Amino acid sequence: MSLKNRDQILIERRAWYSQNKERVKRKFREYYLKNKEKVLTKNKLWAKSEKGKERSKRYYQQNKDIIRKANKKWRNKNQDRLRQYAKQYSKLHSAKTSYEGYTKGYNYKKRLQVLIHYSSNPPQCKCCNENIIQFLSIDHINGGGNKHRKESKIGYIYSWLIKNNFPEGFQVLCHNCNMAKGYYGECPHSSNNSPPPFR
């Protein structure tokens, strides 16, 4: 087939489609309703394929504004439906927000790994020997934790410590001792003097 004939055929097909748009849509709709599971399965497989992902990505980039406006319009019309979905999701996944669910999570494993490295197994506060995991934290021995996090753009300190091969200058303190050290300069537990007056 020559390029000229091909272009002519495409023009004719587009013209036919323009004249029979509603008929075509109705036929597609009837087929979809009769073969819904088959169509959905095929679409899911296509979406997961490399060609499908690339096409979806390209389509989104070309129609970003249109898609965002359509999504916003749909959300505004279906707020009650979205609230109901959120409630159902919360009930089904409530265990993930509990401490029991958290302890099985990836971040908990990272945190425990870091605490053990800078302390012992099981980890404990270097100052008061507190060993309840929920009460423990990482402390900058020489201070300057906030400045360090801002300069190094650290999001999750435990991930950063693992990624940087557990650098020196850190220790495990409980939240009480850590806060007291930051507020008073030293923790009352480690001071031979009486604790400074409340301020």
The per-residue pLDDT for 103 is: 55
Residue 166, sorted as left (phi over 0), alpha (psi -120 to 50) or beta, turns out to be left
pLDDT band for position 199 (cuts 50, 70, 90): very low
CA–CA gap between residue 158 and residue 4 (Å, rounded): 64
pLDDT number for residue 175: 93
Q: What digits encode the pLDDT tens for the residues 30-83? A: 999 999 899 889 888 988 899 888 988 899 999 999 999 999 999 999 999 999
List, in order, residues 6 or more apart from 126 with CB less than 8 Å away: 119, 171, 172, 173
- Which residue ranges make up each domain of the chain? 3-94, 101-190
Task: Give residue 157's pLDDT.
Answer: 87
Structure tokens at 24: 């075509």
Cβ–Cβ < 8 Å for 135, 178? no
Question: Which tens digit of pLDDT belongs to each residue from 104-161?
Answer: 677 888 899 999 999 998 999 999 999 999 999 999 988 887 888 888 778 788 888 9
